[in-house]
Amino acid sequence: MSEDRNSFLKASWVNVASNVLKIGVEGVLGLAFGSLALMADAAHSVADLLASAVVLVWGRFVYDDPDASHPHGHDRFEPLAALFVGGVLVLLGLKLLYDAGHALLTGPKAEYSAILVAGLLVALVVRYACYWYTVRVNREVQSPSLHALAADSKNDIYTTLAAFAGVAGMAFGYPIFDPLAGGVVSLLVMYQGVDISRENIRYLSDGAPPADERARIEDAIRSHPEVHGLHDFVAYYSGHVIEVEFHAEVDGDLSLTEAHDLETELRKRVREIEPVSDVHVHLDPAGLGEWKDAIERSSATTAR
């Protein structure tokens, strides 16, 4: 866990540093030459910087142990941080779209310079390197926050390419390409923000994992040789991890020690499946059915 935490922090700092560098390069050049495409891309990176800083501060709490105020751990901090990323991107995209529309109506005022191309090349290399590193780290860490930042870095590559199109238009005598590129950037930003938000709302609302994930967990339980049936199976997200609850039907003549050992085996077997975190097991004697059903049958028999 300590190794994952260190990797998470390194990747978060890389995202912060790459955004600072990109903002500095594109912001200065955009203001100097009046390029809306560069200023829009730099503004996007301001939101990225804020988002990566929030992930750095909030996301690392997931590695803290449960305490009195958070007895089930801190797993929800990561999707909360990722949801913040998505919300900021949606709002920023709307602002950029407005600015692009305003520039199209009033007329573009950007001036072309080869320095703009050099600045965009620097931004492109920096963000691609950040994307590659974040994805590489997240293969081991499996963090929703880093996944959101990696997606954002990838989105930055597309927005920078769109800014390239705007600068290329200016180079060939079509300055209107600059606000058009800014509009494309805004749409890409909003799309990514909605996608990130939708995914992490599911994590925060105790949504069910995909059907194939649930089937994989059920198969692991049913494949145990001492399990004769399975009911009341529930799997749901708690943060970005999955919690599982189920009743397993077993032989009714097991001793208390044997039942305890079997419960431990089942819990261990399910927890080995990523990203399962906690498992709640209830053992039922095979053929008895639900305890509530047994009580109802007993009450009916007594009444007769």
CATH number of 211-303: 3.30.70.1350
pLDDT of residue 130: 92
pLDDT of residue 172: 84
What is the third-level CATH fold of 2-204? Alpha-lytic protease prodomain-like (1.20.1510)
DSSP string covering the chain, please?
-HHHHHHHHHHHHHHHHHHHHHHHHHHHHHHHHT-HHHHHHHHHHHHHHHHHHHHHHHGGGGGSPP-SS-TT-STTHHHHHHHHHHHHHHHHHHHHHHHHHHHHHH-------HHHHHHHHHHHHHHHHHHHHHHHHHHHH--HHHHHHHHHHHHHHHHHHHHHHHHHHHHTT-TTHHHHHHHHHHHHHHHHHHHHHHHHHHHHTTPPPPHHHHHHHHHHHHTSTT--EEEEEEEEEETTEEEEEEEEEE-TT--HHHHHHHHHHHHHHHHTSTTEEEEEEEEEETTT--HHHHHHHHHHHHH-
pLDDT of residue 291: 47
The yes-or-no answer to whether 2-204 and 211-303 have a common fold is no
Average pLDDT of each block of 10 consecutive residues along the chain (304 residues)?
A: 75 89 89 80 77 69 52 58 77 80 74 85 91 90 80 82 83 82 78 78 73 89 90 80 87 88 91 82 75 44 42
Q: Where are the domains of the chain?
A: 2-204, 211-303
pLDDT of residue 169: 84
Using alpha carbons, select from 184, 183, 181, 187 the residue that is nearest to residue 168: 181
pLDDT of residue 70: 45
pLDDT of residue 46: 75
pLDDT of residue 297: 40
